[in-house]
Chain A
Amino acid sequence: DAKTTQPTSMDCAEGRAANLPCNHSTISGNEYVYWYRQIHSQGPQYIIHGLKNNETNEMASLIITEDRKSSTLILPHATLRDTAVYYCIVRVFNAGNNRKLIWGLGTSLAVNP
């Protein structure tokens, strides 16, 4: 499984966009990038995933570089409730494999008023 590297912590002002980077330089061609977040004392929550195209949903946008070696999760208008640890995960999408996700330490995002 490809390894991901994320900054340990980040700060963001409420109402501003939060841009969370992730490096995955050893990613393989069939490996997807997943993002989850974990609010304090809760289970993780799925945010978004992508392979090579940029993706957007109601929670966030995912920008993947053309060489797929890095990506950025964008929360367009961060709120205090977005304060959480954000995990960038790379996992093979293969119908023959299970979906065990290999988790790193994530980025602790603090949204400040």
Chain B
Amino acid sequence: GAGVSQSPSNKVTEKGKDVELRCDPISGHTALYWYRQSLGQGLEFLIYFQGNSAPDKSGLPSDRFSAERTGGSVSTLTIQRTQQEDSAVYLCASSLDRGSNEQFFGPGTRLTVL
């Protein structure tokens, strides 16, 4: 079956522009996570959605970052007024539900802010 997909795979933008990153989780998965990974680093948690519950936004680094998940499926991560330090790979993962042990990751979106 289809795994987690993300688009675009690569995004190059200029400092100060807004960007939107998209994640399509595995069908039927109620939990969705966003992480980012800077070069040579581990993953940094950003935000978590679980069903219709209020998302856990505790990992968002600033108010320039926001995310939504419409209809309990597709999610969009938006970065406003991008900065060079936002350059990273943004990874999305989904799991069957909050109690699941395994998170399934997408291939990521590589964001480069010039």
**Interface, chain A (partner B; CB < 8 A):** 32, 34, 41-46, 49, 87, 93, 95, 98-106
Contacts and interface: CB of A to CB of B under 8 A. Distances in A.
Interface in B37-63: 40-45, 48, 50, 56, 58-59
Contacts, number: 60
A74 B31 CA distance: 29
A87 B95 CA distance: 18
B107 A42 contact: yes
Contact of A105 (B41, B56, B93): B41
* Size class of the B contact interface (CB-based, 8 Å): 20 to 34
The residue in A45, A101, A104 that gathers the most chain B C-beta atoms within 10 A of its C-beta is A101
Nearest to B45: A100
A49 B43 CA distance: 18
B4 interface: yes
A94 B28 CA distance: 22
Contacts of A93: 101
Given A42-B107, A43-B105, A100-B45, 6 more contacts: A43-B93, A46-B103, A46-B104, A87-B43, A99-B31, A102-B45
Nearest to B102: A46
Residues of A contacting B: mostly: loop
B70 interface: no
B43 A44 contact: yes
A100 B48 contact: yes
Contact of A98 (B40, B56, B101, B104): B56
A61 to B, nearest CB: 16
B36 to A, nearest CB: 11
B25 interface: no
A104 B42 contact: yes
Contacts of B1: none
Give the 4 A-B residue pairs with the shortest CB-CB distance, closest first. Answer: A43-B105, A103-B42, A103-B43, A46-B102
